[in-house]
A and B are shown apart, each in its own frame.
Chain A
């Protein structure tokens, strides 16, 4: 317990952490600050919110025609209000079309006979029909923030907070004492693991709190009950979650991947005398899977979605129906990712203990 306290102290007394975290949050606030279209949208949404009736669909279509015709004739620019109205009408049209799209997809798959077709049909049948108009902009902002920035901020904070966790001992020469003491090779490792995980937890939860408050202030907090398919990026998703459920799962997976990455940083730190070296190696491992953005090779893409940054983004795991074939048994991507994160975490922990059990001083 005392050792854990000291390890936490050693992490949290690094002043640069706070400066960089603050800087990243300010940066995030600035680049995620789209203009007040959303405030206008709120009114528009309130006008249309509720069950999607045939009248609503027809009315929206009519309004759309009128508004866009006006544009063509007079050649004037749209006002922001007009823009958000147009967006609303389009959204209603899309909502209206999804039900038939979903059914079409299901009947298509019924003709296929892949090892995972049955699972896909079952899942798609459970997806809620989009027959309700929601104002989902708040939840959307929070969900997007995770895949857009959170993963990066968490990654950077873990790198700078944890890279030195073992390296510091080697470079300061305190390792001589540590390695010759009763608790220096096991209990201390537990303390360091505990401190690193608590640090990770505090980074992720601070970020989530920030995300929550900044969203509430800017956009509001309604619409959590909407199905995730309402978000454009997720319209093909086979997962029957509402936004709240999905966001919780998202946070969970994000945290799990962050834990895994924290443990990897610890492992690299445990074999490196220089904190900077640990930092760059870990940063390289974090950044490398980004090549996924540039590859078209499907298996590589799938493989890379199990890497730390992509599991921390969460989104790539949920937008499509994708499974991994384990002896003809279809395992969904998010589940596979969770398993991989858990297994690699355990492996990292075992390796750290092995390293520290046999550690010798060099200088």
Chain B
């Protein structure tokens, strides 16, 4: 099973939002990282067939998805970034509605709705109106509906936004578990969501796919470039002006700075094992130092 994107571009007027994206996806979890406005949602919408690319083709197992029409839609599960719901419907009713839209029979629907509610931990609230749900619960309903048809291709746009830590871990495990025989495409700003489960990480920057590789190989790229050093308050500014400081933490009355640099930034600096977050900040440096400072 594979999904191939061939030179996908998308423009809104003069603005190029996706620029000539080509890639191949096979079963496993793909994590899309990218700053706000880098085109993640647009890419996922195109894959979910709710938006047309300006140019380029997508094929699933060798068949153009435009020709496949509903046979392609039958295979996908899609969680949009903004979860839409009918406020006056109960969770159960809403999910049944989506199940019928996905072509499930009445009997299948009952079982499936129960199953997905269980997966997202909302079985007990199934008779409550979704209008009264909290933000995180709404998102979980969104995740549940995406799973109703056992999708071969699961497209989830920031599924962890608004989830509490317990639910995030639950979701991460769920995605990892089901990804052995499905393509899962997941966008996020929280790098730890995909650090351990992603087969590959895609990095989008201003509509261009600048990286696509396994987490390990991507990290190798910045191996030896991540440093920590403990300094006094007075030295922070100087280091910030010279280097990319990705984090500042107060440790035993000294400041511990995490720095990205090709060379040792300070005589006391220690080389660290790189994390994906470092990689992310490595690519999206603008303003990173300020962000780090704010975290103090």
Q: Are B49 and A180 in contact (CB under 8 A)?
A: yes
Say whether A107 faces chain B, with CB atoms less than 8 Å apart.
Answer: no
Say whether B296 faces chain A, with CB atoms less than 8 Å apart.
Answer: no
User: Which of B45, B73, B145 contacts A182 (CB under 8 A)?
Assistant: B73
Query: Range of interface residues on chain B?
Result: 20 to 34
Given A181-B98, A181-B102, A361-B50, the answer on whether A174 and B85 have CB atoms closer than 8 Å is: yes
List, in ascending order, chain B residues with CB within 8 A of A10's CB.
86
The 8 A CB mask of B24-57 against A (1 = contact, 0 = none) is 0000000000000000000001001111100000
Q: Could you write out 14 A-B pairs with CB less than 8 Å apart?
A: A2-B100, A3-B100, A6-B100, A175-B84, A176-B48, A177-B78, A177-B98, A179-B50, A180-B78, A183-B100, A183-B101, A183-B102, A183-B103, A361-B45
Say whether B82 faces chain A, with CB atoms less than 8 Å apart.
Answer: yes
List, in ascending order, chain B residues with CB within 8 A of A3's CB.
100-101
Bound form: Cα–Cα A3–B98 in Å: 9
* Beyond A173-B80, A182-B70, 15 extra complex contacts between A and B, CB < 8 Å: A173-B85, A174-B86, A175-B84, A177-B78, A177-B84, A179-B50, A180-B50, A181-B98, A181-B103, A182-B149, A183-B100, A183-B103, A184-B101, A185-B70, A363-B82
List, in ascending order, chain A residues with CB within 8 A of B74's CB.
182
Report the 3 A-B pairs with minimum CB-CB distance, sorted nearest first. A173-B84, A176-B80, A181-B101
Chain B facing A: main interface SS: loop
Chain B residues 80-129 with CB under 8 Å of chain A are: 80, 82-88, 96-98, 100-103, 106, 109
Q: Are B145 and A177 in contact (CB under 8 A)?
A: yes
Q: Are A182 and B106 in contact (CB under 8 A)?
A: no
List, in ascending order, chain B residues with CB within 8 A of A13's CB.
88
* Minimum C-beta distance from B192 to chain A (A): 27
Q: Are B73 and A173 in contact (CB under 8 A)?
A: no
* Minimum C-beta distance from A303 to chain B (A): 39
Among B70, B85, B96, the most chain A Cβ lie within 10 Å of the Cβ of B70
Bound form: Cα–Cα A180–B79 in Å: 10
A interface residues, Cβ below 8 angstroms from B: 2-3, 6, 10, 13, 172-186, 188, 360-361, 363
Among A2, A13, A360, the most chain B Cβ lie within 10 Å of the Cβ of A2
Q: Are B84 and A174 in contact (CB under 8 A)?
A: yes
- Closest A residue to B94 by beta carbon equals A174
List, in ascending order, chain A residues with CB within 8 A of B96's CB.
2
User: Which of B45, B85, B101, B106 contacts A178 (CB under 8 A)?
Assistant: B101
Among A172, A177, A183, the most chain B Cβ lie within 10 Å of the Cβ of A177
Say whether B204 faces chain A, with CB atoms less than 8 Å apart.
Answer: no
Say whether B186 faces chain A, with CB atoms less than 8 Å apart.
Answer: no
Say whether B248 faces chain A, with CB atoms less than 8 Å apart.
Answer: no
Q: Are B85 and A179 in contact (CB under 8 A)?
A: no
* Minimum C-beta distance from B124 to chain A (A): 24
* Minimum C-beta distance from A166 to chain B (A): 14
Q: Are B73 and A172 in contact (CB under 8 A)?
A: no
Say whether B202 faces chain A, with CB atoms less than 8 Å apart.
Answer: no
Given A182-B73, A361-B51, the answer on whether A176 and B84 have CB atoms closer than 8 Å is: yes
Among B45, B76, B84, B98, the most chain A Cβ lie within 10 Å of the Cβ of B84
User: Which of B48, B82, B100 contacts A173 (CB under 8 A)?
Assistant: B82
Q: Are B48 and A180 in contact (CB under 8 A)?
A: yes
- Closest A residue to B87 by beta carbon equals A172
* Minimum C-beta distance from A278 to chain B (A): 18
Given A2-B106, A177-B80, A177-B84, the answer on whether A188 and B51 have CB atoms closer than 8 Å is: no
The 8 A CB mask of B130-160 against A (1 = contact, 0 = none) is 0000000000000001000100000000000
Given A2-B106, A182-B74, A184-B73, the answer on whether A360 and B52 have CB atoms closer than 8 Å is: yes
Bound form: Cα–Cα A182–B82 in Å: 21
Among B97, B103, B106, the most chain A Cβ lie within 10 Å of the Cβ of B97
* Minimum C-beta distance from A356 to chain B (A): 12
List, in ascending order, chain B residues with CB within 8 A of A179's CB.
49-50
- Closest A residue to B100 by beta carbon equals A2
List, in ascending order, chain A residues with CB within 8 A of B80's CB.
173, 176-177, 361
List, in ascending order, chain B residues with CB within 8 A of A2's CB.
96, 100, 106, 109
Bound form: Cα–Cα A212–B81 in Å: 53
Among B48, B70, B83, B101, the most chain A Cβ lie within 10 Å of the Cβ of B101
User: Which of A188, A360, A363 contacts B101 (CB under 8 A)?
Assistant: A188
List, in ascending order, chain B residues with CB within 8 A of A174's CB.
84-86
Bound form: Cα–Cα A179–B47 in Å: 12
* Minimum C-beta distance from B200 to chain A (A): 23
Among B52, B73, B85, the most chain A Cβ lie within 10 Å of the Cβ of B73
Given A2-B100, A174-B85, A361-B45, the answer on whether A183 and B78 have CB atoms closer than 8 Å is: no
Bound form: Cα–Cα A360–B51 in Å: 5
- Closest B residue to A174 by beta carbon equals B84
List, in ascending order, chain B residues with CB within 8 A of A185's CB.
70
List, in ascending order, chain A residues with CB within 8 A of B78's CB.
176-177, 180
The 8 A CB mask of B172-211 against A (1 = contact, 0 = none) is 0000000000000000000000000000000000000000
Among A13, A174, A181, the most chain B Cβ lie within 10 Å of the Cβ of A181
Bound form: Cα–Cα A360–B53 in Å: 11
Q: Are B103 and A182 in contact (CB under 8 A)?
A: yes
- Closest A residue to B82 by beta carbon equals A173
The 8 A CB mask of B270-288 against A (1 = contact, 0 = none) is 0000000000000000000
